[in-house]
Structure 1
Amino acid sequence: MEDEIEFLIDGTKEAMDKAVKHLEKQLANIRAGKASPSMVGSVVVDYYGSPTPLNQVANVNTPDGMTISIQPWEKSLIPEIEKGIQVANLGFNPQNNGESVIINVPPLTEERRKELAKQAKAEAEEAKVVVRNDRKNANNDLKKLDISEDLQKNLEEEIQEMTDNHIAKIDRIFAQKEKEIMTV
């Protein structure tokens, strides 16, 4: 019986941690004004007939805060990389200098910053919903176990505390991202 309870608690914590990790990954894709290699993470290049992620055919780095430099391992891939960036519909206009592909990242307008902050808030709210659903599932699973009411109450309180901690963590992550987005 004790193993089942421990398994339930550990599984719930793991599920809540996954929700937080997913939020962090989603927020990393929201650009906050400065260039980052993750901004072209979704670009797929046609590499000899097979779709391949950009980071597997080129080095992607940021020489400064407003530029992304993509250095292909084979110069013949430059047109394919440019096409991949266009197809990914990221709002960038790639240029090439014969050696590499360069993307100038335009500065964000105030309106665009507000849109990105809303998008980040929506992602945070979605993560909170997932955490609350994990709490609900854990509490439902607790009710199915043959345990005393006191033990059930204590475990429900433990699950609630875990939920509160994860929600607070989500709020901190969002506040940090919002500050990053709104900073000019």
Structure 2
Amino acid sequence: MTTERIGPPVTGDERTMLRAFLDYHRATLAMKCDGLTDEQLRLRSMPPSTLTLLGLVRHMAEVERTWFRRVINGEDIPLVWSDSGDYQQAYDPTGSTRAEAFDAWQREVEHSQRIEREAESLDVTGYNARWDQRVSLRLVMLHLIHEYARHNGHADFLREGIDGTVGA
């Protein structure tokens, strides 16, 4: 399996640029996992960290679900892997498979993309209960770009440790 990653445009309106950079970072995470077995995707980094590529994919499914569906769309739904709202559960890949994690992540990405496309503008807001304030779709997209970029850096090191593959 090889992920196609399209570089973001160098010009465009704000929404087009945000959408393209977010999709670019989503594809980067998928690329970092290409060609690995379930066991390799569950390999932990270095002690004491328990970070894994599969855990990152599961975490990003929770991030997509929370920010787009729960915050912007106002859906009253639990997290994917925790009914109690414990985000840390997503990081534990024990018993998880590529198929399970990637299916959940892709479903959440598709929901996110639909919600963003259907939003009237980047000024649409939703309520973030953790922050006890309304936030704009613009902030959500910027936050997710930041979140993916940070975790893609982690994915770089994880992948290099698994099989020596470097670069994006």
Please report the TM-score for the alignment, with normalisation by the length of structure 1.
0.32
> Which structure shows the higher strand fraction?
1
Q: TM-score, structure 2 length as denominator?
A: 0.34
Which protein has the bigger helix share?
A: 1
Mark the structure with the bigger radius of gyration. 1
